[in-house]
């Protein structure tokens, strides 16, 4: 996992205004909203879907209808994303994680998934016969 914060100068950091604009367009083939990540398998499925297509963004802390809720335990979520992307996907998927502060108080986690070079799958969902 590559982690970006407000001091990074990589040129891909999303600011609050861009995030709000992205959310206002709703979910689509390249954007998925999640209020929270309570199920690692659900996160793995989202990561794999984006890695096997053109890539996309999973925006955590936003309801399905686009309401910005924010995340509660940022450190836990960042560790979970790293673990799922590296250990829950085969081959492991490199994700870029950003934190964006909205309205001066709500933190939203943006998981950027790039299109993968190889077909990615979730090993735990493959049966014993392969």
Q: Where are the domains of the chain?
A: 2-116
Tens digit of each residue's pLDDT (9 = 90 or more) over 74-104: 999 999 999 999 999 999 999 999 999 998 8
Q: Are 31 and 113 in contact (CB under 8 A)?
A: no
Sign of CA dihedral 16, 17, 18, 24: positive
CATH number of the domain at 2-116, please? 3.30.950.30
Q: What is the pTM of this model?
A: 0.84
Q: Which two tokens stand for residue 122?
A: 């979730």
C-alpha neighbours within 13 Å on the C-beta side of residue 100: 28
The Cα 101–Cα 84 span in angstroms is 24
Tens digit of each residue's pLDDT (9 = 90 or more) over 61-73: 999 999 999 999 9
């Amino acid at each position: 996992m590559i982690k970006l914060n407000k001091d990074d100068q990589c040129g891909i950091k999303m600011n609050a205004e861009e995030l709000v604009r992205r959310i206002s367009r709703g979910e689509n083939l390249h954007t998925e909203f999640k209020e929270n990540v309570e199920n690692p398998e659900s996160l793995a499925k989202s990561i794999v879907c984006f890695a096997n297509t053109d890539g996309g963004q999973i925006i955590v802390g936003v309801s399905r209808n686009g309401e910005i809720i924010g995340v509660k335990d940022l450190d836990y979520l960042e560790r979970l994303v790293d673990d799922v992307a590296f250990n829950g996907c085969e081959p492991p998927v490199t994700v870029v994680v950003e934190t964006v502060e909205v309205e001066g108080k709500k933190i939203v986690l943006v998981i950027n998934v790039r299109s993968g070079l190889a077909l990615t799958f979730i090993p735990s969902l493959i049966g014993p016969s392969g």
